[in-house]
């Protein structure tokens, strides 16, 4: 998925495109027809992200909750000069990576000249939201449902703090105490959305490496000052990810290296999907284990000391 940074980007983009606007909602694929009918014709009041969840509130107090899961994505097209346009700087596809590259290229090719607006949906579109000049298509979400405000509160209650929502000491304290409360491995705890909301498999692996933490170490045994560092580091990474749209977690790069890494996926990470290759710091072969059925990447040499 689309970890937390992607969802915050979507929320900011949608806030600009839809807030205050009347929308028409539909489900070209048909699986969300009833939900779409509940919000169609309404005005969007707010678009918010919390962890990996997106909440779109409309003026009858109903809220659409969207969770992209591993491969969900939004494609956005805007009307410019009478023609559909997709793929410009702000019109990226937001979600699963394979979509964001190929789908955009495709969209630019096929929609540049004469496709009428709105463009026909491509593939299995669960939800289409449109205004006079904007169309957003959602495909492959793990969750897309209409909730009442009370139900939204219940969902939010299951989530841990998000640095961009729970700013300042509040989120920090909450994270530290939730981490101290679990004996499970720190590699599991960081992925647990009720401990901290928004971290996924990529950020999990990279944050652990950045702090040279053994993924198997009980979360409880992580010293409080280290826990504080983890939260601050996650806050920085998240903000950076929202800004660039890219998860760039290397701390060992100069400006030129950073520019390269922003372009090339192979340069972005310390350990994620680098198993079998030498650790960028010590040269030891990067390991890959299964932890709770997810792939865990780490360096056994760098991430073994007990601080």
Residues recognised as catalytic: 2-3, 52, 294
Based on CB atoms, which residue is closest to DNA, 290 or 306?
Answer: 290
Pick 67 or 111: Cβ nearer DNA: 67
Interface residue with DNA, options 22, 69, 218, 245 (CB under 7 A): 69
SS (H, E, C) the chain: CCCHHHHHHHHHHHHHHHECCECEEECCCCCCHHHHHHHCCCEEEEEEEECCEEEEEECCCCEEEEECCCCCEEEEEEEECCEEECCCHHHCCEECHHHHHHHHHHHHHHHCCCCCCCCCCCCCEEEEEECCCEEEEEECCCEEEEECHHHHHHHHHCCCCCCCCCCCHHHHHHHHHHHHCCCCEHHHHCCCCCCCCCCCHHHHHHHHHHCCCCCCCEHHHCCHHHHHHHHHHHHHHHHHHHHHCCCCCCCCCCHHHHHHHHHCHHHCCCCCCCCCCECCCCCCECEEEEECCEEEEECCCCCCCCC
274 binds DNA (CB under 7 A): no
By CB under 7 A, tell whether 292 contacts DNA: yes
Residue closer to DNA by CB (options 56, 296) is 296
- Residues 112, 120, 124, 236: which binds DNA (CB under 7 A)? 124
* 206-245 residues near DNA, rule: CB under 7 A: none
Q: Report the residue number, 31 or 212, with the smaller CB distance to DNA.
A: 31
| Residue with smaller CB distance to DNA, 4 or 171 | 4
Size of the site for DNA (CB under 7 A): 41
Q: Which of 42, 65, 67, 85 binds DNA (CB under 7 A)?
A: 67
250 near DNA, judged by CB under 7 A = no
280 binds DNA (CB under 7 A): no
User: Taking contact as CB under 7 A, which single stretch among the options 79-87, 110-118, 137-145, 276-284 is the one that binds DNA?
Assistant: 137-145
Interacting residues with DNA (CB under 7 A): 1-3, 6, 29, 31, 51-52, 67, 69-72, 96-99, 102-103, 106, 122-126, 139-142, 158, 191, 193, 200-202, 247, 273, 292-295
């Amino acid at each position: 998925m689309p970890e937390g940074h992607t969802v915050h980007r979507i929320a900011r983009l949608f806030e600009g495109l839809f807030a205050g606007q009347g929308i028409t909602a539909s489900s070209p694929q048909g699986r969300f027809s009833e939900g779409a009918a509940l919000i169609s014709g309404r005005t969007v009041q707010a678009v918010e992200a919390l962890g990996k969840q997106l909440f779109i509130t409309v003026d009858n107090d109903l809220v659409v909750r969207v969770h992209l899961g591993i491969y969900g994505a939004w494609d956005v097209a805007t009307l410019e000069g009478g023609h559909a346009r997709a793929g410009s700087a702000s019109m990226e596809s937001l979600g699963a990576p394979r979509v964001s590259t190929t789908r955009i290229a495709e969209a630019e090719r096929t929609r540049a000249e004469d496709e009428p607006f709105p463009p026909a949906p491509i593939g299995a579109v669960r939800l289409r939201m449109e205004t006079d000049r904007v169309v957003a298509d959602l495909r492959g979400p793990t969750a897309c449902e209409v909730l009442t405000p009370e139900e939204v509160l219940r969902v939010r209650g299951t989530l841990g703090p998000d640095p961009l929502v729970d700013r300042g000491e509040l989120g920090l304290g909450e994270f530290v105490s939730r981490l101290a409360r679990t004996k499970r491995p720190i590699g599991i705890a960081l992925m647990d959305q009720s401990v901290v909301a928004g971290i996924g498999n990529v950020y999990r692996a990279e944050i652990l490496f950045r702090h040279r933490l053994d993924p198997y170490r009980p979360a409880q045994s992580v010293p409080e000052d280290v826990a504080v560092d983890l939260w601050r580091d996650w806050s920085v990474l998240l903000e950076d990810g929202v800004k660039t749209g890219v998860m760039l977690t290397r701390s060992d790069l100069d400006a030129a290296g950073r520019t390269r890494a922003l372009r090339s996926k192979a340069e972005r990470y310390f350990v994620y999907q680098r198993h079998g290759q030498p650790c960028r710091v010590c040269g030891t072969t990067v390991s890959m284990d299964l932890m709770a059925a997810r792939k865990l990447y780490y360096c056994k040499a760098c991430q073994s000391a007990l601080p």
